[in-house]
Amino acid sequence: MVVGIIFIALIAAFVWSIMYGRKVVRTEVTDAVFGNPARALGGWHWVVTGVSTILLMWFLFSWDAGRAFFPRAGNELCQVAKLNRTINPVRSAFPLDGRLLLGTQLLQRDYLQINLLREQLKNTEFNDADRAELEAIVEELHDTLAAQASSELVDPAIAGQFEDIATRIKKLAADMAVEGYPGPIDEAEHAKALAQPGWGKSSVELPSMPITDRGRKFDAASLVMDEIAKDYTVIKNTSPELIARLEALQVRYKNFVVDTSGDAKVVTKRNELLKQIEKIYKRIDDGRIFPPVVTEVVEEALVILDKEQKSQQGTLRYINALALPGGEVIAGNKACSEQGSGRWLPKPSDTLFTFVRMADPDVGYKGVSLLWYKMKPISEMVGFLVPDWVAALIPGEYPRHDDSGEISSNFKSKAYNFATGNYNSPALPIPTGHIWDSIVRVLTGLFLGIVLGVPLGIFMGLSRFAKGYFDPLIELYRPVPPLAWAPLVLTIFGIQDDGKIFLLFMVAFAIMVISARTGATGTQLSKIHAAHSLGATRKQIIRRVILPNSLPEILTGIRIAIGVCWGTLVAAEMLAGTTGIGFVENVARKQSDYEIIWMTIILLGLLGLLFDLMMRWVISRSIPWRGKG
């Protein structure tokens, strides 16, 4: 319902903005010069068009729109798929979908094998008597194979079986044409069908029990067709003459004794040839080749059934093609599912629903909320300020338990508890969750990169020694893709926060060093001269002239670093770890949970955009002089 309204509103927005855009173009007589960059300013109505195009495509190809407008189409298509599934074993034997007739295909393959066998025989050493016998066997193989295709040799009983199958298929087609087939509704079954969870509402994507009359017709037909197909597949070309020839052939090659004299390699080759003969013999013995005249009745019947079931589908075929594009519904053994874009492109409404469900901190993902808070005692937070070894410096010994198992405390043990943060204190709310973990890692890595990279970069911009000494160090590790470092860094620093933060620090550090160095070396000499003449000391020149002068480069560096860090982090989280957005996506990938994969993709995009917008705002606020000097 809601999806349907949104879909129609999107179409309206799409059409309206295109019409408005055309109207604006007609009225803009003053802006007549092609190539004028001012033309690219404004035009938010084209933004509306672009956004609604993307959303419309998403709604359409994820089948969300189709599901909203035709909620029962999925169930009906599932029944159609069931029928197609049961027809398929019979259908695949005939050249209905651009294939060869099954018998023709088998003959082609076997003739090819026999030709290869002839070649092999020529190239293998045998004495004359053996060679003659084997050549005769191979020719007999070929002739027996060809005999299967002969309509004169085929058993009339077999032809009768095909007639029977064809009659049954035609009967099914005629039945389907009758209104009211397969008879009155079984109320109990119908109630069960209605009680199934809806389309996409459970792990089974599509409810498989038929709900509509059309659905029941196809469901019933699929049951009948299943029986027919079972009977069809067991038919074998077994005329008495063929069987007699095959048995004689088997006796002949079984009685052939391989000459074991001579080179071991030659003997192996001889044995291989015999095995090859047996393999082809067994294929012929399957009896899957019939004369086309015998089987064509079934083919005719299939065409009739095809036509009938298509006409019975009626509008469903158009709904399938237009409202559920890019894929189809297929039936499995027990359930039906979406294939194609309907499968890998999750529906917007389902994705939103998944996000809302996971946003509930009690649900979360793998026991961790997406973004929530938890109460953390202050003692734990400040615990790291006092190193644990401080307690060890206090004279005396830690208390031991006494005979009654009591543990008394002394000053030393109290000091230890204080240093480790093990005491009662009020708790503060601290953000937590996958999203928060990712953000904290990026910002910590970035912060360390800035704090250490900017001073080094400026130092390198000012000192010949620093430039020469640190340049090889940075230029050696910087060109390595960050992810190439990940396995090593994560092994050394652990798969938890430390490793990832260090990896991000490496990324941010190199970028910040280079941008700060560029900024520092780009300082106009006259500004430095002026500062000297005004009595500034070295420290003051760095702090008051070089640093502010490098600010545009440094801020641009931060903006680049934040983007690269964000990308590296997600990949690092996919490699290892137990929290973070990348971790969520990786687990969802392993479970083929497309909704969560898309949710994480959208989330990552939005957070990346947010970071960039923040940086743009900071840049516009803090260096308004850039480009105006």
Partner 1 sequence: MSDLVADKLNMEFAMPSGGAVHALKDVSFTLKQGQLLSVLGPSGCGKTTLLNIIAGFLRPTGGKITLGDHEINGPGVDRGMVFQQGALFEWLTVANNVNFGLRMKNADKAETAKKVEEWLDIVGLQGFGDTPTYQLSGGMQQRVALARCLINDPDLILMDEPLGALDALTREKMQSLVVKIWKETGKTIMIITHSVEEALLLGERLFVMAPRPGRLHKQYELPFAEQGLNADPRDIKHDERYVETREEILTMIWDMEEEIMGKAEAA
Q: Closer to partner 1 by CB, 425 or 537: give it.
A: 537
x-marked contacts with partner 1 along 71-110 as a string, rule CB under 8 A? ----------------------------------------
Helix (H, G, I), strand (E, B) or coil at 492: helix
What contacts 215, CB < 8 A, 6 or more positions away? 72, 75, 76, 78, 79
Cis bond before residue 182 (omega within 30° of 0): yes
Give the nearer residue to partner 1 in terms of CB position, either 400 or 628.
628
Cα dihedral sign, 389-391-395-399: negative
The SS3 assignment for 338 reads strand
Closest CA to 517 of 568, 565, 560, 474: 474
Binding flag, residue 236, partner 1 (CB under 8 A): no
| Comparison of 26 and 539: residue with beta carbon closer to partner 1 | 539
Instruction: Write down the least CB distance from residue 523 to partner 1, Å.
Output: 11
Residue pair 141/249 in contact by the 8 Å Cβ criterion? yes
**532 binding partner 1? (CB under 8 A):** yes
Tell me if 619 contacts partner 1 by CB under 8 A: no
Angle at the Cα of 75 from the Cα atoms of 72 and 77, rounded to 5 degrees:
105
Nearer Cβ to partner 1, position 183 or 629?
A: 629
Contact status, residue 239 vs residue 154, Cβ threshold 8 Å? yes
Q: If binding is defined by CB under 8 A, does position 538 make contact with partner 1?
A: no
The residue from 159, 335, 440, 536 that contacts partner 1 (CB under 8 A) is 536
Tokens encoding 355: 């996000």
Tokens of 283: 């294929």
321 makes contact with partner 1 (CB under 8 A):
no
Size (the chain), residues: 629
The alpha carbons of the chain give a radius of gyration, in whole angstroms, of: 39
Instruction: Give, as ranges, the residues between 404 and 433 that touch partner 1 (CB under 8 A).
Output: none
Please check whether residue 550 is in contact with residue 537, taking contact to mean a CB–CB distance below 8 angstroms: no
**Six token digits for residue 428:** 């503060």
Out of 36, 150, 233, 540, the residue judged to bind partner 1 by CB under 8 A: 540
- Residue 437 CB partners (closer than 8 Å, separation 6+): 497, 579, 580
Applying CB under 8 A, among 549, 578, 587, 589 the residue interacting with partner 1 is 549
Our CB check for partner 1 shows the closer of 122 and 628 to be: 628
- How distant, in Å, are the alpha carbons of 84, 185, 450 from that of 321? 17, 29, 55
Nearer of residues 275 and 538 to partner 1, judged by Cβ: 538
> In whole angstroms, how close is the CB of 551 to partner 1 at the nearest point?
7
Beta carbon nearer to partner 1, 394 or 528: 528
Question: Which of 548, 563, 567, 608 touches partner 1 (CB under 8 A)?
Answer: 548
Shorter beta-carbon distance to partner 1: residue 291 or 552:
552
User: Applying CB under 8 A, what is the total number of residues that bind partner 1?
Assistant: 23
- Phi, then psi, of 182 in degrees rounded to 5: -95, 30
**Shortest reach from residue 513's CB to partner 1, in Å:** 22
Supply the minimum distance, in Å, between the C-beta of residue 524 and partner 1. 6
Q: Of the candidates 166, 486, 545, 569, which one interacts with partner 1 according to CB under 8 A? A: 545
Per-residue x/- marks for partner 1, 512-531, CB under 8 A? ------------x-xx-xxx
* Cα–Cα distance, 589 to 561 (Å, whole number): 27
* Residue 464 in contact with partner 1, rule: CB under 8 A: no
Does residue 624 interact with partner 1 by CB under 8 A? yes
3-state secondary structure 498-536: HHHHHHHHHHHHHHHHHHHHHHHHCCCHHHHHHHHHCCC
Nearer to partner 1, 90 or 542 (CB): 542
Binding status of residue 628 toward partner 1 by CB under 8 A: yes
Least spacing, CB of residue 561 vs partner 1, in Å: 22
Separation between Cα atoms, residue 20 and residue 23, nearest integer Å: 5
Q: Which two tokens stand for residue 147?
A: 């005999």
User: Of 504, 386, 370, nearest to 450 (Cα)?
Assistant: 504
Residue 426 or 624 with smaller CB distance to partner 1: 624
Q: Does position 620 bind partner 1 by CB under 8 A?
A: no
Least distance in Å: CB of 522 to partner 1? 13
| 246/244 Cα distance (integer angstroms) | 5
Applying CB under 8 A, the residues found at the interface with partner 1 are 524, 526-527, 529-537, 540, 544-545, 548-549, 551, 623-625, 628-629
